[in-house]
A and B are shown apart, each in its own frame.
Chain A
Amino acid sequence: MTETTTPQTLYDKLWQSHRIREDADGTALIYIDRQLLHEVTSPQAFEGLRLAGRKPWRVDANVATCDHNVPTTSLEGGVSSIVDPVSRIQVQTLDRNAAEFGILEFPMGDPRQGIVHVVGPEEGITLPGMTLVCGDSHTATHGALGALAHGVGTSEVEHVLATQCLIQKKMKNMLVKVDGQLAPGVTPKDVILAVIGQIGTAGGNGYAIEFGGQVFRDMTVEGRMTVCNMAIEAGARVGLVAVDDKTIEYVKGRPYAPKGELWEQAVESWQSLVSDEGAVFDKVVEIDGSAIEPQVSWGTSPEMVGPINGCVPDPDKQADSVKAESIRHALQYMGLTPGTPFVDIGVDYIFIGSCTNSRIEDLRAAAEVVKGRKVADSVELAMVVPGSGLVKQQAEAEGLDRIFLDAGFEWRNPGCSMCLAMNADKLPAGKHCASTSNRNFEGRQGAGGRTHLVSPEMAAAAAVAGRFVDVRTMMQEASA
């Protein structure tokens, strides 16, 4: 008997394989394979469990690390090195909760500690085909491995701890297809910023976005993580890339990845984690990858972004009154005038780090630009914050730390750092920062701070020039 089955998207498959039940109105109970926990969004969830006298459903499904509050200067002394007492209590609370409930934790001082979205894939804790959640919107990152991963609030962290499930409705499917070949100097960060610039910061609301096309097939797994990480900045909780040989190669041999016969069995199962030929997407966005240029954001929303050779826009030329008002607000906050070329914007701070761009490939790419050059005198602080202790070790083994230090960068310890400035790393009011992070919201990097989102290469180039510059011109100088 032949059976005709409807072609499914990758998201459809992941949804179906984890669906315990679905009611007539579409409300479904979904099984969660893995939960990552950090210190900021978990304390109230553990407290809720305790108050209700509940135990975690499956302790082994949870892994914890601290990242938002950890200092990036000295880690000597572990938790006690956190000067801010409120931050310290939050990290200690995570340590205590992990110990009380028996949850695997990479605490401060453990070389595996780092940004939760760097640590998960690095340790093989994130695997293709799983459902993975974390009380953190950048959980979309893990979709780069073909996992259904998204951020949740603290109530849902508690819900997953207690029940191993989430109550959800299915999202819609969107395909962002970028074909062609990226030009030299154009990076995964530029691709995702260009996508957000096109579809807008609410463009993906209600959707799971699959990133497909030649550009993502050619991209490394770490590059795919940068892209999926910022799906949320386009409004989509979920970003996905189909599993291919690169994915499997990436996972192979990682500490918590399956071994032996289980590995063979897993790989066989993972082969099907692609959208079927003819699968229907509710929305398709096509972008010519070869036309994408290095990007820089100029406003206070990630959609306020443009190619480096562009100019600050004029709100008076915007027909939509709500949008025009947003641009006016943004320019006032950023201290920018319409018509100013991006390359004329000076930078005071450089931040290379965050769950978007703090992996070894990011650091190598930035170091390549910095090598043999110096940070401009006008730059007040340039810092590199590796995503995890292991990324830091690897970079040091390759001598990248020397390149950054020789150029005048500070070489820091792992954590979220100035991406959101919950630790001591804050962007002062009025200062412009070339940042490889993910959000340019008002006050995000520090009250009154002015964030410009760029790739690691563009941040490195800005550090050297003291203003934004097309990194491609610097690459030409180097090869000339």
Chain B
Amino acid sequence: MSLQKFTKFDALVAPMDRANVDTDAIIPKQFLKSIKRTGFGPNLFDEWRYEDVGQPGVDNSQRPLKKDFVLNQPRYQGARLLLARENFGCGSSREHAPWALKDYGFDVIVAPSFADIFFNNSFKNGILPIVLPAETVEQLFQAVYAQEGYSLTVDLENQQLVQPDGTTIAFDVDSFRKHCLLNGLDDIALTLQQSDEIKAFEADYRQRAPWLFADNASV
């Protein structure tokens, strides 16, 4: 699947002020029954967001909202950057979590740390997860709470977030992943360009571990 190129943009920031937000919370299990990649946005954070228990196929626009939930507050409508706490995306490997976040409208998540599988899955879906020191994240939370409409300019090319006052926050990003995001590249096509190398490895490996190949072993 090729992705949209990740360009520079202004992002309204929404705060998710909880540590260890797990992927069961991001997208509950009943929505995992879909065999598609799209349409998960209305059920993002379903149990925190709605008063009732959501089900697939239900018209979500008619469901009662939990007014206090952060993403239901008018000031955060249209947010593209989710500001989060430690270990965001822990638990289940479900890629439905980044699908739901992306479908809802989030392109960037900033946190002091991410769970490994979620971090990896995000890049595959055109979401940029940014790790910043806990103190910086704390300052951003204060800034978001203090100022309605608080936005950051996301500049992946230069690896920085630009604050409303013009000051910048630099971030690290893996060079390969940055390249893929900026160019909207499909990982599989890139790997298949190395088919000869894979085949050469496989031929040698077959000698080293013949029991792992079907024509030798029983699988």
Interface of A toward B, CB cutoff 8 Å: 17, 20-21, 23, 25, 27, 29, 31, 33-34, 40-41, 43-44, 47-48, 51-52, 54, 57, 60, 63, 68-69, 84, 86-87, 89-90, 93, 104, 125, 127, 129-130, 135-137, 139, 150-156, 158-159, 162-165, 167, 169, 171, 201-202, 205-206, 232-233, 235-237, 255-259, 262-263, 265-266, 269, 301, 303, 322-323, 325-326, 329, 420-422, 439, 441-444, 447-448
Known: A90-B35, A237-B116. A25 touches B174 (CB 8 A): yes
Known: A153-B120, A202-B86. A44 touches B92 (CB 8 A): no
Which A residue sits closest to B218, measured CB to CB? A256
Q: Is the CB of A31 within 8 A of B202?
A: yes
Q: Is the CB of B35 within 8 A of A93?
A: yes
Known: A20-B197, A151-B117. A235 touches B90 (CB 8 A): yes
12 A–B pairs (Cβ distance < 8 Å), ordered by A: A27-B175, A43-B35, A47-B36, A86-B56, A152-B93, A153-B121, A162-B191, A202-B90, A258-B218, A422-B32, A422-B33, A442-B24
Q: Is the CB of A447 within 8 A of B217?
A: no
**A255 and B98 alpha carbons, distance in the complex (Å):** 38
Closest Cβ–Cβ distance, residue B3 to chain A (whole Å): 10
B210 within 8 A of A: yes
Return chain B residues, CB-CB under 8 Å to A233.
91
Known: A60-B213, A258-B217. A40 touches B32 (CB 8 A): yes
Known: A27-B174, A155-B95. A262 touches B216 (CB 8 A): yes
Which B residue sits closest to A68, measured CB to CB? B32
Q: Is the CB of B176 within 8 A of A31?
A: no
Q: Is the CB of A167 within 8 A of B191?
A: yes
Return chain B residues, CB-CB under 8 Å to A447.
28, 47, 53
B63 within 8 A of A: no
Q: Is the CB of B95 within 8 A of A86?
A: no
Q: Is the CB of A63 within 8 A of B219?
A: yes
Q: Is the CB of B95 within 8 A of A154?
A: yes
Return chain B residues, CB-CB under 8 Å to A158.
188
Closest Cβ–Cβ distance, residue A407 to chain B (whole Å): 29
Return chain B residues, CB-CB under 8 Å to A448.
53
Q: Is the CB of A443 within 8 A of B24?
A: yes
Return chain B residues, CB-CB under 8 Å to A63.
219
**A90 and B34 alpha carbons, distance in the complex (Å):** 7
Q: Is the CB of B19 within 8 A of A323?
A: yes
**A256 and B191 alpha carbons, distance in the complex (Å):** 30
Which B residue sits closest to A43, measured CB to CB? B35
Known: A235-B90, A422-B32. A441 touches B25 (CB 8 A): yes
Q: Is the CB of A41 within 8 A of B29?
A: no
**A443 and B25 alpha carbons, distance in the complex (Å):** 8
Q: Is the CB of B218 within 8 A of A301?
A: no
Interface residue ranges of B45-98 to A (CB < 8 Å): 47, 53, 56-57, 85-87, 90-95, 98
**A126 and B140 alpha carbons, distance in the complex (Å):** 46
Closest Cβ–Cβ distance, residue B127 to chain A (whole Å): 12
**A164 and B188 alpha carbons, distance in the complex (Å):** 10
Interface residue ranges of B193-217 to A (CB < 8 Å): 194-195, 197-198, 201-202, 205, 208-214, 216-217
In addition to A47-B36, A90-B33, A137-B93, 9 A-B residue pairs with Cβ atoms within 8 Å of each other are A27-B176, A127-B211, A163-B191, A165-B198, A205-B116, A259-B218, A265-B211, A301-B22, A422-B29
Closest Cβ–Cβ distance, residue B151 to chain A (whole Å): 24
- For B57, B87, B176, B209, the residue with the greatest tally of chain A CB atoms inside 10 Å of its CB is B209
Q: Is the CB of A256 within 8 A of B217?
A: yes
Q: Is the CB of B33 within 8 A of A167?
A: no
Return chain B residues, CB-CB under 8 Å to A329.
18
Closest Cβ–Cβ distance, residue B191 to chain A (whole Å): 4
Known: A104-B219, A201-B87. A52 touches B211 (CB 8 A): no
Q: Is the CB of B209 within 8 A of A269?
A: yes
Which B residue sits closest to A161, measured CB to CB? B188
**A60 and B211 alpha carbons, distance in the complex (Å):** 12
Q: Is the CB of B205 within 8 A of A31?
A: yes
Q: Is the CB of B174 within 8 A of A44?
A: no
Q: Is the CB of A155 within 8 A of B216?
A: no
